[in-house]
Amino acid sequence: MVEVTLRPLFRMQADTANGATHIGPVPVGYQRRVVFVTGGRFEGERLAGHVLPGGGDFLMMRPDGGMHLDVRLVLETEQGELIYMTYVGRRHGSPEVMERYKTSSPVAFNEDYFRTIVQFETAAPRLDWLNSILGVGAGYRTAEGAVYEVFEIE
C-alpha cells in the first residue's frame, strides 16, 4: 500500500459576516446558496497573510441536508504575494447540526463531516511550489465564518 503524508500548510479563518444569499432551487435539483467572504486571515510555518474580501462559497444544498462546497478565494501573503485558492468539499451531519449552518451558527470540529480538496495558483516566484501541490482541509464553523486546517499532500 502507498503511504501518503500530510504536511501542515496553514490555519485559515474565512470571515462571512453578511450571511448567505439564497438563489433557490436550480435545475440540478438542489438549492443554491452563495456565501460571500468578507476577509480573514491565514497563518502557518511557510505561509501567512490575509484573505481578501470578494471570494465566496457557491454551495449546493442537497435534499438530505448535506452541502457541496465550491469555494474561490484570493489570499495575500504578508509579503504582498497573491494566491488564488480554490477548493471543493463536503459537509454533512445530523439534521440539527446542518440546520445551524442555515443560520450561520457555530458548529464545532467533528460535529459534522467538513472536508475539502484544495488547489492553488500563484505568479509569485517564491511560492511557485504551490502551483504543483494539492491540499486537503478539515473545518468547522464559528460565528464569524469557517475555520480550516489545510495540509499539503506529500
* Domain coordinates in residue numbering, the chain: 6-153
Cell of 31: 438549492
User: In sequence order, what E strands does the chain have?
Assistant: 6-15, 20-25, 31-36, 39-43, 48-51, 56-61, 67-77, 82-92, 113-122, 135-141, 145-153
Q: State which CATH number among 2.40.160.20, 2.40.50.100, 3.90.1150.10, 1.25.40.390 fits the domain covering 6-153.
A: 2.40.160.20
Task: From first to last of the 154 residues of the chain, give the pLDDT tens digit.
Answer: 999 999 999 999 999 877 788 889 888 778 999 999 999 999 999 999 999 999 999 999 998 889 999 999 999 999 999 999 999 999 999 999 988 877 778 999 999 999 999 999 999 999 999 999 999 999 999 888 899 999 999 9
Q: Give the global pTM.
A: 0.92
Q: How far is CA 150 from CA 43, 49, 110, 116, in A?
A: 10, 14, 15, 9
pLDDT digits (tens, 9 = 90+) for 6-26: 999 999 999 987 778 888 988
